[in-house]
Amino acid sequence: MSIPPLSNVPTHVAIIMDGNGRWANKRGLPRTMGHRKGVEAVREAVRTAGEVGVRYLTLFAFSSENWTRPEDEISDLMGLLKAFIRRDLADLHRQNVRIRVIGDKTNLRSDILPLLLEAEETTRNNSGITLVIAFNYGARDEMARAMRSLAVDVKEGRMLPEQITPERIASRLDTAGIPDPDLVLRTSGEERLSNFLLWQAAYSELLFVPELWPDFNRDSFLAALERYATRERRFGGLSKPATLAVGS
Ligand code: FPP
């Protein structure tokens, strides 16, 4: 299918990929099968985003709260992420995709961290879409780490408290240098942000779609972008066109 004419394509789309477990339950399959199918949906989402001109795609792959899931599910999710990077990195690199990983990288397992760093390093100079993988990510944790680093600067005399501005806070977040998401989308019908990009989503459009993540395909993505295009973004003012990129 060719790309329909899309107006007001968001610069940055962030997705909470929810519903893998329910997708599997509905079919009498183990939850891990839902995650496996979810990886295929990840590939399709990256392709579609690149095709339509989205510049940044952030995917919530594993939250800092997901460690409370059963051990076998955690181990399967880790395995899938590792396999995704091992198998898809060369292909993503060829597609000129740049990979960034956000989330707390301290104390990550020794079989995961080097892979994530390698993915970032290999694709550092690519100029196509940026795929931001949120791994071991929680927005409150991200903000606490940013505040701590500012507090150290104040304590050591490099900064005055009154120099702490929203811009300086943003520059200490994991997303430094990445424009705020224009659109935050969550699949599976749940309507929550679940500790995802709480600072960055201050003016994002929110879209909740009923599809479970493994069913979220190219058509679902295009339909979501069409809905986004009809939104009028005001950024706290009276009226601004939806084409205005956040951060500009
Ligand atoms: C939510 O579904 C999904 C997750 C916790 C993990 C998402 C991970 C993937 C799609 C695979 C790995 C990611 C990459 C980037 C390769 P859920 O388990 O909470 O579903 P439920 O709410 O129906 O139980």
Q: What is the pLDDT of residues 9-37, one digit of tens each?
A: 999 999 999 999 999 999 999 999 999 99
The closest alpha carbon to 58, from 229, 179, 195, belongs to 179
> Closest residue (by CA) to atom 1 of ligand 1?
18
Residue 247 pLDDT grade (very low, low, confident, very high; cuts 50, 70, 90): very low
The answer to whether 66 is a known catalytic residue is yes
Cβ(8) – ligand 1 distance below 6 Å: no
Whether 80 is in the pocket of ligand 1, judged by its Cβ within 6 Å, is: yes
Q: Which residue segments constitute the domains of the chain, with CATH numbers given?
A: 6-137+179-228 (3.40.1180.10)
136 catalytic per annotation: no
Tokens of 201: 């989503």
- Of 68, 46, 69, which is closest to residue 57 (Cα–Cα)? 46
Q: What are the DSSP E strand ranges found in the chain?
A: 12-16, 56-63, 98-102, 130-137, 183-186, 205-208
To the nearest 10 degrees (0 to 180), the angle between helices 31-52 and 71-94 is: 20
Regarding the beta carbon of 39 and ligand 1, being less than 6 Å apart is answered yes
Q: 200: Cβ below 6 Å to ligand 1?
A: no
d(CA 13, CA 232): 16
pLDDT at 235: 83
Q: Which tens digit of pLDDT belongs to each residue from 81-119?
A: 999 999 999 999 999 999 999 999 998 989 999 999 999
Distance CA 207, CA 78 (A): 28
> In which residue are the tokens 């990929």 written?
17
Q: What is the pLDDT of residues 65-79, one digit of tens each?
A: 999 999 999 999 999
How far is the C-alpha of 48 from the C-alpha of 28, rounded, in Å? 30
Closest residue CA from atom 24 of ligand 1: 21
